[in-house]
Amino acid sequence: MAFSLDIYPYLVILTWGVVMQEDTPRTADYYLNRCIFLPTKFSKTRPSPEPELECIRYRDSSCCRPNMTTSFLEDHQWMNMTDYGHCPQKPRLSPECERLNHDEVCFYACSPHSGPWIVIGNGYPYSHRLKNLPLCASQCDKWWNACKEEYTCHRNWLTDPAWDANGMNICPKDAVCRKYTEMYTSAADFCNTIWDGGYHVVPDTEPCMEFSFDPAKPNPNIPVSRAAAEKKAAVSGTSGLKMYLPSGLFVLFTLFLLYTAPPLF
């Protein structure tokens, strides 16, 4: 029996739909100097100097414009998304907790060195977010010790809150406000949980990031970010080929072609 050559074009189309396709390798520069996208006029897509920025650690190279954190400093409500004083027991943060949270907000919104850990978010209010950024244990301890006497009704401040008509986080119905010391079991539990795994606490002996470093000294996050970017680039360059499954529409189209094609034999 002779094999019909008329079937070849259809087999090529079907194979193309599931063929192992090569990923485009990413360079270290791709992961460096990335900016996390935030839905605000104060956010930027690429870092640049901002001499008047209130976040003094990032004036030489910043992913945000001046006044990015003004609303937080005024009323502890940041960008109509996060109300740090959402519990009536303590609507204002202590001065030290305010300082550490401001440092963290500046790092999140303005640092150009978190690129290797930026991922696409999956819901309101962030379309971009951090995932498993290695946070130095000593930095986590400072943040925790400054804020552990504050109150919250959320463990996870991205997934647990309800949202008001303006998009601000509020306590869900029947949620109970408790001190952080009652809501979290440890400093690491707090740092790892509050922003849905955006941070991952690691010992200071491992490469890790800080957000309240001395601004008069070199930024310790730069070499950590560079090493992480180079590692991700190396993985990207050797990732080889990956299987990409066809879409449903493609499958239906291919089945139609095969159904209408001449017999194989």
Whether residue 83 has pLDDT greater than 50: yes
CA dist 34 and 159 (Å) reads: 25
**Neighbouring C-beta atoms of residue 159, cutoff 10 Å:** 10
DSSP structure class, residue 244 = -
Whether residue 23 has pLDDT greater than 90: no
Lowest mean pLDDT among 1-10, 31-40, 115-124, 171-180: 1-10
DSSP structure class, residue 53 = -
Q: Coil, strand, or helix at residue 78?
A: strand
Identify the CA nearest to 96 among candidates 36, 147, 37, 33: 147
Q: What is the pLDDT of residue 264?
A: 45
CA dist 83 and 94 (Å) reads: 14
User: Domain coordinates of the chain in residue numbers?
Assistant: 40-236
Q: What is the pLDDT of residue 248?
A: 53
115 close to 225: Cβ distance less than 8 angstroms = yes
In tens, the pLDDT along 206-240 reads 999 999 999 999 999 999 999 999 999 998 665 44
Decide the pairing of beta strands 199-202 and 133-136: parallel
> Tokens 């119905």 sit at which residue?
173
In tens, the pLDDT along 170-197 reads 999 999 999 999 999 999 999 999 999 9
117's tokens: 């850990």
Whether residue 254 has pLDDT greater than 70: no
Whether residue 4 has pLDDT greater than 90: no
